[in-house]
Structure 1
Amino acid sequence: MAAYRRAQSGGRRILIVSYHRVVSDFTGELQRSIPGLLISQETFRRHIDEATAAGFEFASIGDAVDVMNGRRVTRKDLCVITFDDGYRDVYRYAYPILKQLGVPAITYLPTAFIGTKRRFNHDRLFHLLRRAQERHYHPFYAELPEASMELLGPILSGQKTVSAALDDFIGEHPTRVLTSIIDALEQQLGGGPDLVPEQGDIMNWDEVRRMARDGFEFGAHTLGHTVLTLEPSNVVEQEILESKRTIEKEVGIQVRDFAYCNGWYSDEIIQVLSQHGFRSGVTTEDLPNRIGGDPFTLKRKVMWENFSLGLLGDYSSPLTGCQFDDCFGVLGMSRPVPGRRPHAFRGGGMLGNVLAAPPGAVLQEVP
């Protein structure tokens, strides 16, 4: 299957794996955090061994793009390790392993959160919804934003888990809707410090700079962890450019790589990245990367703890090897979620100018 994927991809496999939080106590953290964001430190270390055993050589995102574009030739398949969001867990538990083993990695930073005590909207909502369940909370829908029913309804009816409902909801609603629901839920639940999650803290700039001095790379991930396809053009421009500029100012490095929040992207967003010196954009589409492919739609395999658990609930080396060799994709057993989306807003700012350009001047517009 690995040989088949290699031939299908143009001669070399370029596997890009994505992680969020690397934790010391997975079982304990599982009781209070979004499960799909978690992997234990021990399993993460084993993933590095499994990727090596599967024939991959670890590479930077820049090296991977160079191989895809034909500017560099590699004798082995490449594996690129990426982290989204800049959780402090990565600094605590992943960074020491990577440094010890000499494995490169890139972390994509939502810069408005770095060095603050803020928590991401997805973590805040998950925490609030779990608190509501614990208190047998019955919402006063008349006092909640109109979209709240789309989130709370499937959870309260038992149709979806909190994690599944939250994932679907965040992918379809802009940041301002999420924050309005958070504010309303906090008010209905009576406020208080216990409504803000203790876990999920974010790196500070000193920690980022320390990793950068050791050769680890950083990319932009918007300012406020914003799903850009749901935002107007002026917000798209600000989120991309200010995130890039902030990292460059704080860390003293050139930022050329971007991660789309929620994995959603559009041709309009790609055009902004291309015009402002970026060389790549990573999605969350679990598909093979192909030699000669578009560096602004790089495919990533999002990994978490349970992707390596066997039938008895313990770590499975064969199962992990199957993940890295994309056995389930080859057999048609997985259904990757497309990341390309219609852009919700048109007109104004850079994106409006892009759409007004002559035919052939920009990428094809999404209907």
Structure 2
Amino acid sequence: MAILRTVLSDITYHARRLTPGDGEGLRILMYHRVTDAHPGNRLCVPVARFADQMRWLAEQGYRTISFAEAVELVRGQGAGGGRRGNSRQAESAAFPRPAPRAPRPKLIVLTFDDGFEDNFLYAYRALAQYGFTGCFFVPSAFIASGQTGHEAVDQPMSWAQLSELAREGHEVGAHSISHAKLTHIDPVQMREEVRGSKEAIEQGLQQPVRFFCYPSGDYNAAVKQAVRDSGYDGACTVEPGANRSGADPFALTRTEISAFDSLWDFEKKIAGAFDWMHRVVQWTKR
């Protein structure tokens, strides 16, 4: 199976390189954890591997933009963007196909789900090395209690750590209160999970929380409406693919980076070579 996965992604990667414009759109990367504590867990990207991925992005000329700027882009409003300090450089040409020989802007968004402390201890350090920023989606109850319900090594970030991330230009978004699967609970509780997490994080950080991430990618029309009604400006899913102008800002797609991805796999994922395979996997889970 692994060999077939490699062969098919290689073929897709090279086919995309022969069809300019086929992979256009803004790619949002989805990470969960950056840690060596759980080898073999696909959600736990090893520290050195994550550092290699960030270095590769920097060497290839990629610039991170904020989740807020991503929402502006899909709404067709343009965006500033890039590494810290470049927020006023217009990149409204991110989606239209560039003129012949014009370099395509290399913009990317980095997101981290679940609020584990290793995001602060390891991911934050690697991001700072290259001037990158990310958006950290946290379940508010994890932060408030200092517990995740996992092993002792699996601690969440503290309010102080999240505040430091925010001061350094990173975004903090909501990921519900308790990481509940929102379509599996009653509507009243669902709306409280959505609204209450926003309120708790805003109180903890003393700043607005504008964006939401659906826990486990679980949402439907009612959940999406609850996110809108709670005052968020956008949300992201676990559905694969790049985001093009006109995409639904409350259902932005992301590309999952796993612990098992080699640097070559990472490059292929950035190019969209795994998108169709990930869609098949998502379809089989329905």
- Equivalent residues in 2 for 1:84-123, closer than 5 Å: 84-120=113-149, 123=150
In 1, Cα distance between equivalents of 2:278 and 2:177: 36
In 2, Cα distance between equivalents of 1:264 and 1:339: 15
Offset, 1:206: 1.0
User: Under a length normalisation based on structure 2, what TM-score does the superposition of the two structures give?
Assistant: 0.79
SS at match of 1:286: coil
Contact 2:239–2:279 under 8 Å retained in 1: no
Residue 280 (structure 2) aligns with = 335
In 1, Cα distance between equivalents of 2:51 and 2:146: 28
User: Under a length normalisation based on structure 1, what TM-score does the superposition of the two structures give?
Assistant: 0.63
Contact 1:307–1:323 under 8 Å retained in 2: no
- 1:245 is aligned with what amino acid? E
1:78 maps to which of 85, 104, 107: 107
Distance 1:3 1:257, change over 3 A: farther
2:208 maps to which of 254, 268, 272: 254
Offset, 1:50: 2.8
Offset, 1:3: 5.8
In 2, Cα distance between equivalents of 1:262 and 1:4: 35
Q: Deviations over 1:115-164 (max 9, x none)?
A: 434224xx4xxxxxxxxxxxxxxxxxxxxxxxxxxxxxxxxxxxxxxxxx
2:240 maps to which of 286, 311, 333: 286
Offset, 1:340: 11
- Equivalent residues in 2 for 1:319-358, closer than 5 Å: 319-329=265-275, 335-337=280-282
Contact 2:117–2:154 under 8 Å retained in 1: yes
SS at match of 2:242: coil
- RMSD between superposed Cα atoms in Å: 2.4
Residue 182 (structure 1) aligns with = none
Name the structure where helix makes up a greater proportion of residues.
1
Contact 1:220–1:247 under 8 Å retained in 2: yes
Offset, 1:338: 5.2
Offset, 1:271: 0.8
Contact 2:181–2:216 under 8 Å retained in 1: yes
Residue 7 (structure 1) aligns with = 21
- Number of equivalenced pairs: 249
Contact 2:116–2:154 under 8 Å retained in 1: yes
In 2, Cα distance between equivalents of 1:244 and 1:5: 42
Unaligned runs of 5+ in 1: 124-196, 309-316, 342-367
Identity of aligned residues (%): 27
Unaligned runs of 5+ in 2: 1-12, 79-91, 95-104
Distance 1:15 1:4, change over 3 A: farther
Q: Deviations over 1:278-309 (max 9, x none)?
A: 1111111112322111011111111122012x
Distance 1:5 1:210, change over 3 A: farther
In 1, Cα distance between equivalents of 2:284 and 2:223: 12
Offset, 1:18: 1.0
